[in-house]
Amino acid sequence: MPQIEGPFQVKLSPQPLHAAAEGMFGRMALDKRFEGALQADSRGEMLAATTAVPGSAGYVALEKVDGALDGRRGSFLLLHSGLMNRGQAELTIVVVPDSGTGELEGLSGRMKIDIREGGAHFYRFEYALPGKE
């Protein structure tokens, strides 16, 4: 499976919550710009919750990525699921099955995020596309 990596920028914007969820959750709009072999913009929604125990939290997010992957144009959806268990992080980001459009139809894969010194964000994306092995 091909694997690519590169930098990305992310902007998080707080959003209003349902009144019953206030104080329990945080909601953010995601805006990203991917560079490298993935030349794309994405928009998404994130819902997060913290607990009374420091270092324990969870989040889920969906984002639509639109652009070019190794020169093939289209869009796809990413599903995020993240947990912090007393400071131990676990993050899963996968392509939503059958969400690829255009030249990215049939895309599958997993993404990892690496936040480096100084706060720079990088992605690693292992993917499969029909006809590209």
Q: Tens digit of pLDDT for each residue in 19-47? A: 877 777 999 999 999 999 999 999 999 99
Please give the residue that has the higher pLDDT: either 21 or 129. 129
Of 54, 48, 45, give the one whose Cα is nearest residue 25: 48
pTM of the model: 0.93
**Three-state SS for 52?**
coil
CA distance 101 to 110: 17
User: DSSP class of residue 37?
Assistant: S
Tens-digit pLDDT profile for residues 49-77: 989 999 999 999 999 999 999 999 999 99
For residue 121, is pLDDT > 80? yes
